[in-house]
Structure formats: structure tokens, C-alpha cells
Amino acid sequence: MLIYRFLTGDDDSAFCHKVTKALSEGWALHGTPTYAYDGFTKKMKCGQAVTRIAKDQPYDPEKKLVDF
């Protein structure tokens, strides 16, 4: 089963660490990153989709994606 997550955050080093952590846990980049201005907070926001294959596990919507 292919699992999909979309990581988001402010355009700062914390977001880069979030993506790096996901990659170190076996997630792979999926598509291109997104970048947008949040007029409410007056900050740039980043987003990156990541995927991972979870073998021999049925989908369970009650389970956190990081637990697959």
C-alpha cells in the first residue's frame, strides 16, 4: 500500500528538518514543493508531498500515517 502525506510549515529551517526527518524514516519526495504567501500571518508557507510503501498492512483510517 502506498501512503501519502503532505507536509506543511513556515518557510524556515524547521520545515526543512520536518522534510529531512520524513526522508530519513523512509518517505520519498512526491512531486514538486509548493510555496505560497499567507496574507494573514504575513509569512511564506512551504508544502511537500511525501510517500512511502507500507507492506502487508491494510489501510486503517484510525491509524496515524507515521505509524504505518
Would you give per-residue pLDDT tens digits along the chain (68 residues)?
999 999 999 999 999 999 999 999 999 999 999 999 999 999 999 999 999 998 888 888 998 887 88
CB 49 within 8 A of CB 6: yes
Helix residue ranges, H only, the chain = 13-24
- E strand or H helix at 45: strand 43-53
Instruction: Say what the pTM is.
Output: 0.84
Residue 26 pLDDT: 93
Q: Which residues contact 66 (CB under 8 A, 6 or more apart)?
A: 5, 25
* Sequence-separated (6 or more) residues with CB below 8 Å from residue 25: 52, 66
